[in-house]
């Protein structure tokens, strides 16, 4: 039975001719566009998550507290809403860090009459506080500390990156959706032409007792075959594009976003793309089948 259904579906595809090819091309374009934007969005999402983990808020203190006062201050900050961790940096530690940054010019620091750097707290915000609204609330709480002289830090630029990631995802979904609708309509047209061409054959099959499922399944399989063919072609195009473009972009992406490698689809993503192709084609076949019903 399965061999008969697949054979009928393949024969119907040959009957559809150029219309079936057009449907495959449109499905390929829609899934390639959707998959391309999906890849860009997922890699930007990795960058956003990575840089959110690196967001720090620095609280410069009016004076360097004693060891006992440091422990109490750290505890007060640690229990604040939105704080994931806090580290005390003394004046001497800050000066050593400055020397490391200056490298061969560190001798300039030794000529200073006194250490001009203030003691500070380096606060790691939680995920809730690593947003513009959450960061502003945490900045206000930290600035209210009696020991605080100045508070520096913001998550605005991380959120701008997240905004671009969401925007690209929305554009990709929109472009893919438009092309997907065109692909469904093309599959529907191809299948409708096939139904019209074989209408006498279908009536004969009904007269000899063939079930509606047996008559209609080849139509659905035909659409799914077109969808799978388009999905495979789209996946192949994405693989080739990724293998060619990714090595050239990775040095720039590593420098600007801190991502050492541009990832491709996981096995689940590949399965989702293939499933989307089969769904698009099958939906087109189903619509044509439904339109033929009395």
Question: Please, which pLDDT band fits residue 214 given cuts at 50, 70 and 90?
Answer: low
> CA 238 to CA 270: how far, in whole Å?
11
- For the record, the structure tokens of 286 come out as 């189903």
Q: How many helices (H) and strands (E) does the chain have?
A: 10, 4
Residue range 147-199, pLDDT digits in tens: 888 888 765 665 676 677 677 667 767 777 777 777 777 767 766 766 665 56
**Coil, strand or helix at 106:** coil
Q: pLDDT tier at 1 (50, 70, 90 boundaries)?
A: very low
pLDDT tens-digit series, residues 58-70 = 889 888 888 788 8
Which overall architecture, per CATH, does domain 56-154 show?
Answer: 2-Layer Sandwich (3.30)
Tell if the pTM clears 0.75, that is, is over it.
no
On the CB side of 291, how many CA atoms lie within 13 Å of its CA? 18
Residue-wise pLDDT for 237-250, tens only, equals: 999 999 998 888 88
The answer to whether the beta carbons of residues 76 and 167 sit under 8 Å apart is no
Q: How many residues does the chain have?
A: 294
> Which residues in 113-249 belong to E strands, given as ranges?
120-125, 148-152
Among candidate residues 37, 28, 22, 18, the one with its CA nearest the CA of residue 277? 28
- Reference 233, options 16, 23, 29, 37; nearest CA is 29
Could you read off the pLDDT of 77-113 as tens digits, one per residue?
998 998 888 899 988 888 888 777 777 776 776 777 7
- Residue 3 φ/ψ, nearest 5 degrees: -60, -40
Radius of gyration of the chain (CA): 31
- Nearest of 271, 252, 276, 272 to residue 262 by alpha carbon: 252
**Rounded CA separation 184/139 (Å):** 52
CB 232 within 8 A of CB 30: no
Q: How far apart are CA 223 and CA 96, in angstroms?
A: 68
CA dist., res. 58 & res. 186, Å (int): 59
Domain boundary assignment for the chain: 2-51+158-291, 56-154
Is the CB of residue 188 less than 8 Å from the CB of residue 219?
Answer: no
């Amino acid at each position: 039975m399965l061999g008969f259904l697949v054979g009928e579906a393949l024969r119907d595809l040959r009957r559809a001719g150029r219309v079936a090819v057009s449907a495959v091309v449109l499905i390929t374009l829609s899934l390639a566009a959707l998959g391309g934007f999906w890849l860009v969005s997922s890699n930007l999402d990795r960058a956003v998550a990575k840089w959110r983990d690196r967001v720090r808020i620095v609280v410069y203190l009016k004076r360097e507290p004693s060891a006992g006062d440091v422990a109490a201050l750290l505890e007060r900050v640690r229990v604040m809403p939105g704080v994931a961790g806090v580290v005390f940096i003394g004046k001497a530690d800050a000066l050593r860090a400055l020397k490391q940054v200056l490298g061969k010019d560190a001798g300039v620091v030794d000529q200073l009459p006194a250490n001009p750097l203030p003691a500070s707290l380096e606060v790691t915000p939680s995920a809730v506080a690593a947003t513009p609204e959450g960061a502003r609330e945490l900045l206000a709480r930290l600035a209210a500390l009696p020991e605080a002289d100045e508070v520096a830090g913001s998550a605005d630029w991380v959120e701008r990156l997240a905004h671009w990631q969401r925007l690209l995802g929305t554009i990709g979904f929109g472009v893919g959706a438009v092309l997907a609708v065109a692909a469904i309509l093309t599959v529907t047209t191809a299948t409708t032409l096939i139904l019209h061409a074989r209408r006498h054959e279908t009536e004969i099959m009904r007269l000899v007792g063939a079930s509606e499922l047996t008559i209609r399944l080849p139509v659905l399989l035909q659409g799914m075959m077109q969808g799978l063919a388009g999905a495979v072609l789209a996946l192949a195009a994405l693989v080739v594009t990724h293998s060619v473009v990714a090595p050239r972009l990775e040095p720039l992406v590593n420098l600007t976003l801190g991502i050492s490698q541009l990832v491709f689809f996981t096995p689940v993503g590949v399965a989702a793309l293939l499933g989307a192709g089969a769904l698009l084609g099958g939906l087109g076949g189903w619509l044509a089948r439904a339109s033929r019903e009395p």
